[in-house]
Chains A and B, each alone.
Chain A
Amino acid sequence: MMKQEVRPLPALFDHPPLEKVVLMPCWCIVSLVMGWVLASSRMAAPPFAIDLEVQSAKVHNTAHAEVVASGARASHRDVLDATAREPITVRWTLRSMAHKETIPDVVVHFFVVQEDKPGQQTVPKLDNGVAVETALTMDFKPTDKTQGELTFTLDRPGSYLIRLETIGAMAGSAGHESYAAMDLVVH
C-alpha cells in the first residue's frame, strides 16, 4: 500500500504569502476589475436591439432593450402622459445582434396592460386589463429585424405598462430574453 504524501496546509492551498497579496501591484488589481466588468457586461449584452417608441398627441419617448436577468430589479422606466381617447402610436423595431448564429423560433410579444402604479416591478398578469396584445414568430439570422407600428386609444384613465419582449430566445443561442418597456399614465 502506497503511503500518501502529507503536505503542509499552505502548500495545499498553494496561495502566495499574505504580504504579496496585499502588496499586489495596483495595475494588476485594476486589470482584474476591468476584466471582470468587461466580462460581465459582455455576458449581459442584449441579444436583440430594441427601439420602442411611444407617441401621443403632445409627447413621445423611446425605450431601448434590456436583458431579463434572474433576480435582478428592472431598471427605471420612463413615464409618458396621455389623455383618454386620444390616439397613441407605438413603433417598435427588434433586431438580432448575433454575429453568426440564428436564433430560431422567437416569439416577439407586445402588450399594453393596466398596472397598479407607474414603475411597478412586477409585470401584471395578462388575464385582465389588456388593451393591446400582439405576437409574432420568427427565426432571427444575424441582423434580421422585425418592425411593428400600432395606433390605438385607451378609454380608461389609469397607469399602463407598454412592453415589447422576446419569448423563447433563451432556449436558443441568445441565452437571454430581451425587452423594452415604458409606462403611460392616461388622464
Chain B
Amino acid sequence: MGRDWQTDGPLEEEAYLMAVRWTLVLLAWSYLAIPIQAEHADIDLLILHLDSVTGVPTEEGRSSVDREPPAGGLRPRPVIPVKANDPLALQFVLINTYPHGEKKDVTVRYFVVREEKTGQKTLPGLGKDVVTQGRFTLNFKPKCRVGARVCFTLKERGVYLLRVETLNTDSDHEHFSAIDLRAE
C-alpha cells in the first residue's frame, strides 16, 4: 500500500517543506558553530639570531598559531638549535581575527623558560628558570595587533620553551605559538 511519490501532491509538498526546514536548521547551526570553532588569532612567532657586531637579525626558526586544549596544541612545535651565549631575539605579531565585537581585558603573554625536554606537553613554571617574559592586558577589538621584539641570550645549554599565548579570551580555547630552543 505504498504511496506514489510522483503523483501524491500533498506528500511531495510536505517532503519539500521538511527539506527546507532541515536546510534552515543546518544553516543556523553552522552560523552559530563557526564562531566557536573558528580561529580567533593569527600568530607569527620568530626566533632570530643577532649578529654580535652589527646586530643584524637572521631568522633561525618560525612558528604559527596553534590552540589549546588539547594541552600542547594540535601540532608538534618546531625544535630550533641555537648556541648558548649567542645574542638572540624573539619576535611575534599577534592579530585578533575574532570578528564579533570587542573582548575586554584579554592578556597576551610571552616567555622563554627552561624546560625538561623538547615537545613536553606541560608548561614549566614561570619562576627562576625564566629567561625573559612579558604580558599585556588590553581590550581586543577585531583586527587589533600585539607585537614584540625582545633580545635575550641563553646562558646555559639546555632546552628552552619560547611561547606566546592568549589568556582570558572568554572562549572554550586559547591560542598560542611555540618553539623549542635547543641551546648547544
Q: Is A78 an interface residue (CB 8 A)?
A: no
Q: Which of B23-31, B134-142, B168-176 faces chain A?
A: B134-142
**B148 close to A133 (CB less than 8 A):** yes
* Given known A-B contacts A152-B150, A152-B152, A155-B87, A134 and B145 have beta carbons under 8 A apart: no
* Given known A-B contacts A137-B145, A139-B141, A151-B130, A146 and B152 have beta carbons under 8 A apart: no
Nearest residue, chain B, Cβ from A148: B136
**B132 close to A153 (CB less than 8 A):** yes
A to B contact number (C-beta, < 8 Å):
76
Within A107-137, which residues are at the interface with B (CB < 8 Å)? 108, 128-137
Residues of A with C-beta under 8 A to B132: 150-153
User: Do most interface residues of chain B lie in helix, strand or loop, or is the interface mixed?
Assistant: strand
Chain B residue total in the interface (Cβ 8 A): 24
Task: Kindly provide the distance from the CB of A113 to the nearest chain B CB, expressed in whole angstroms.
Answer: 11
Residues of B with C-beta under 8 A to A152: 132, 134, 150-152
**A136 close to B55 (CB less than 8 A):** no
Nearest residue, chain B, Cβ from A111: B149
**B136 close to A133 (CB less than 8 A):** no
Instruction: Write out, one digit per residue, whether chain B residues 82-104 have a CB within 8 A of any chain A CB (1) or not (0).
Output: 00000100000000000000100
Nearest residue, chain A, Cβ from B146: A136
Q: B134: which of A129, A150, A153 is its contact (CB, 8 Å)?
A: A150
Chain A residue total in the interface (Cβ 8 A): 23
Within A1-54, which residues are at the interface with B (CB < 8 Å)? none
Q: Is A74 an interface residue (CB 8 A)?
A: no
Q: Is B37 an interface residue (CB 8 A)?
A: no
Instruction: Write out, one digit per residue, whether chain A residues 53-79 have a CB within 8 A of any chain B CB (1) or not (0).
Output: 000000000000000000000000000
Bound together, the chains give a CA A148 to CA B55 distance in angstroms of: 26
Instruction: Write out, one digit per residue, whether chain B residues 121-143 have a CB within 8 A of any chain A CB (1) or not (0).
Output: 00000000010111111110100
Bound together, the chains give a CA A132 to CA B139 distance in angstroms of: 22
Residues of A with C-beta under 8 A to B150: 131-134, 150, 152
Residues of A with C-beta under 8 A to B151: 130-132, 152, 155
* Given known A-B contacts A152-B150, A155-B153, A136 and B138 have beta carbons under 8 A apart: yes
**B135 close to A148 (CB less than 8 A):** yes
Q: Is B11 an interface residue (CB 8 A)?
A: no
**A148 close to B134 (CB less than 8 A):** yes
Residues of A with C-beta under 8 A to B145: 135-137
Instruction: Write out, one digit per residue, whether chain A residues 137-148 have a CB within 8 A of any chain B CB (1) or not (0).
Output: 111000010111
Residues of B with C-beta under 8 A to A108: 138
**A153 close to B136 (CB less than 8 A):** no
Bound together, the chains give a CA A152 to CA B153 distance in angstroms of: 10
**B141 close to A138 (CB less than 8 A):** yes
Extra contacts, 4 of them, besides A135-B148, A151-B133 (Cβ < 8 A), are: A137-B144, A139-B141, A148-B135, A152-B134
5 A–B pairs (Cβ distance < 8 Å), ordered by A:
A131-B150, A136-B108, A136-B145, A139-B139, A151-B133
